[in-house]
Amino acid sequence: MDEYSTANQDYQHQLLYPAIERAAGNSLTDTVSDRKFQEQLIEKIKEYTSTYYKVAYKYKLPTIRIVPFILRLIND
């Protein structure tokens, strides 16, 4: 098993996802139904995640794909 196999998941689930989830949740207003809010939240999270990767790609910013590479550099 690769020692870096969870680095992508850790970054995405511990840093990236909560930030996107908070931004998406804050953008939803006037939603009365919890079910409707959850549905809208899921759609917003997909939209914001896609936007994150588009911006990261356009400006050549680091994404979770290079985390294992960075960890190898740090450990060497």
- pLDDT 10s digits, 1-47: 455 556 556 666 677 888 899 999 999 988 889 999 999 999 999 99
Look up the domain containing 28 and give its range.
7-75
- Asked, for residue 69, whether it belongs to a domain, the answer is yes
The domain tally of the chain equals: 1
Residue 1 lies in a domain: no
pTM of the prediction?
Answer: 0.69
Residue indicated by tokens 């908070």: 22
Whether residue 17 is contained in a domain is answered as yes
**Is residue 41 one of the residues assigned to a domain?**
yes
